Amino acid sequence: MRICGIEIDTAKLISKDDVLEQLRDSGESDCALSDVRGRYNELFGNDLIWRYPISDGTFAGVTIVTVKEGFLQLPYDNMEKTEYELFELDKASLIDEDELERFIDDWKMFSDDLLAALGDMRFIVQARQEAE
């Protein structure tokens, strides 16, 4: 498997059940993924974990963790100052192809809209500065 230009030996990945067990034992939060991040960084030079902070209408966002079985989504609705995202582990699941397509489409729409707005903001700020 190859992701972000990195060849991944799937035998070295942590299983979905082991990730969930570790989270249950360590606090069900983003901080509790530190051991997974450390192991993956050591093995692959990348933590292979991504935050997807766009609401799907059900949750505020998800964190995506690469596991032996594929890609585990850990949904969250709440964040805490020191623990960061607080996962809803009973709703965790492997991501299927349809969900990945939706993630890609939603991110592109979000990104395109944000870039357009930022470009307009830059134009307005520049115009105001030039008028001063």
Helix (H) or strand (E) holding 26: helix 16-26
Residue 118 and residue 77 share a domain: no
Q: Is residue 130 very low, low, confident or very high in pLDDT (cuts 50, 70, 90)?
A: very high
Query: What's the pLDDT tens digit per position in 32-44?
Result: 999 999 999 999 9
Across the chain, how many H-helices and E-strands are there? 3, 7
Residue 91 and residue 26 share a domain: yes
Residue 88 and residue 101 share a domain: no
Residue 101 and residue 88 share a domain: no
Residue 74 and residue 103 share a domain: no
Residue 89 CB coordination number (10 Å): 14
Give residue 81's domain range. 2-95
Helix (H) or strand (E) holding 20: helix 16-26
Residue 18 and residue 65 share a domain: yes
Residue 107 and residue 86 share a domain: no
Residue 77 and residue 21 share a domain: yes
Total structural domains in the chain?
A: 2
29 forms beta bridges with: 86
Residue 114 and residue 89 share a domain: no
Query: What's the pLDDT tens digit per position in 43-81?
Result: 999 999 999 999 888 899 999 999 999 999 999 999 889
Residue 100 and residue 36 share a domain: no
Question: Which of 120, 30, 27, 126 is CA-nearest to residue 75?
Answer: 30
